[in-house]
Amino acid sequence: MNNHIKISTLLLFIFFGLLSCNVKNETIENAEVPLDQMIGQMIMAGFRGITIDDVDKKFIDQIEKGYIGSIVLFDYDVINKEYVRNISSPSQVKMLIKSLQSHARTPLLMAVDQEGGKVNRLKEKYGFPKSVSAKYLGTLDNIDTTKFYAEINATTLHDLGFNVNFAPSVDVDINSENPVIGKVERSYSSDPKIVIKHASEWIKAHNEKGILSTLKHFPGHGSSDADSHLGVTDITKYWSKDELLPFHEISSKYEVAIMTAHVINNNLDSFPATLSKKIIKGILRDEWNFNGIVFSDDLHMKAVNAMFDFDTIIKKSVLAGADILVFGNNLEHDEMIPTKIVEAMTRMVQNGEISESRIKESFDRIMEAKKRLGLISNIK
pLDDT tens, per residue, the chain with 380 residues: 444 444 343 333 333 333 333 333 322 343 589 999 999 999 999 999 999 999 999 999 999 999 999 999 999 999 999 999 999 999 999 999 999 999 999 999 999 999 999 999 999 999 999 999 999 999 999 999 999 999 999 999 999 999 999 999 999 998 888 788 999 999 999 999 999 999 999 999 999 999 999 999 999 988 776 555 555 678 888 888 999 999 999 999 999 999 999 888 899 999 999 999 999 999 999 999 999 999 999 999 876 877 899 999 999 999 999 999 999 999 999 999 999 999 999 999 999 999 999 999 999 999 999 999 999 986 54
**pLDDT at res. 236:** 85
* Active-site residue flag, 229: yes
* Active-site residue flag, 297: yes
Topology adopted by domain 34-372: TIM Barrel (3.20.20)
Identify the burial level of 70 via C-beta atoms within 10 angstroms of its C-beta, where 0-12 means exposed, 13-18 middle and 19 or more buried.
buried
Instruction: Please work out, in degrees rounded to the nearest 5, the angle formed at the alpha carbon of residue 291 by the alpha carbons of 72 and 234.
Output: 65
Give the number of other Cβ atoms within 10 Å of residue 82's Cβ: 9
Choose, from 113, 171, 269, 297, the residue flagged as catalytic: 297
Choose, from 217, 229, 262, 300, the residue flagged as catalytic: 229
Count of CA atoms in the C-beta half-sphere (13 A) of 84: 5
Q: So where are the chain's domains?
A: 1-31, 34-372
Q: State the angle between helix axes of 337-350 and 356-372 in degrees (0 to 180), rounded to the nearest 10.
A: 130
- Rounded Cα distance between 174 and 240, Å, is 8
**pLDDT at res. 6:** 41
Q: Residue 294 pairs with which residues in a beta bridge?
A: 258
**Pairing verdict, β 263-264 and 325-327:** unpaired
Which element (helix H / strand E) includes 116?
A: strand 114-116
**pLDDT at res. 115:** 97
Q: What is the DSSP string of 294-316?
A: EEPPPTTSHHHHTTS-HHHHHHH
**pLDDT at res. 229:** 56
- Rounded Cα distance between 168 and 155, Å, is 16
**pLDDT at res. 26:** 29
Cβ-based neighbours of 199, under 8 Å, separated by 6 or more: 168, 170, 188, 215, 246, 250
